[in-house]
Amino acid sequence: MEENIILTKTYNFALRIINLYKYLCDEKKEYTLSKQILRSGTSIGANSEEASGSISKKEFRAKYSISYKEARETHYWIRLLKDSEYIEAKLANSLLNDVEEILKILGAILKTVSK
C-alpha cells in the first residue's frame, strides 16, 4: 500500500497529542483543556482516514473540511496551553509546527478538490 502523507502525518500527530494528554493529566493534573485537545487533535486523523474511504467527492470534501476545522481548533488549544504555561514553549512550538504543516496540506487538498 502506497504511503499517504496526510494520513501518516495526522496519525503521528495524534500519537503526540495522546502523549500530551497523558502528560497534562498525570503531571499537571489538568483535565478540562486536556480532554479538548485530545478530542480535536485525534479527530484530525480520524476524519482524514474516513475521507480516504469516501464514496463520493462531496463526502471526501466534507470529511477533509472537518479535519481542517479540527486542526484549527487544535492550533487554538496548543496556543492556550502554551500561554497559560501548562506546556513549555519548546513543546508548544513543535506541536504548532506540526499542526501548521497539516493545515497547509489539508488546505491544498481542499483547494484541489474544490476545483
Query: Structural domains in the chain?
Result: 5-113 (1.20.1440.60)
In this prediction, residues 62-75 reach a mean pLDDT of 98
- Give the pLDDT mean for 87-94: 98
Are 70 and 44 a contacting pair, CB within 8 Å?
A: yes
Q: What is the pLDDT of residue 1?
A: 59
**For residues 2 and 24, what is the distance between their CA atoms, to the nearest angstrom?**
35
Give pLDDT, residue 102.
98
Single-letter amino acid, residue 12 = N
Statement: the pTM of the whole predicted model exceeds 0.85? yes
CB 100 within 8 A of CB 75: yes
Cβ count within 10 A of residue 82: 18
Alpha helices, DSSP H, located in 1-115: 5-26, 32-52, 57-83, 89-113
pLDDT band at 115 (very low <50, low <70, confident <90, very high): confident
Alpha-carbon distance values, 22 to 16, 34, 64, 73, 83 (Å): 10, 8, 27, 19, 19
Judged against a pLDDT cut of 90, whether residue 7 lies above it is answered with: yes
* pLDDT band per the 50, 70, 90 thresholds, residue 3: confident
Q: Above 80 in pLDDT, residue 74? A: yes
What is the pLDDT averaged over residues 33-38? 98
**By the 8 A CB rule, do 32 and 84 touch?**
no
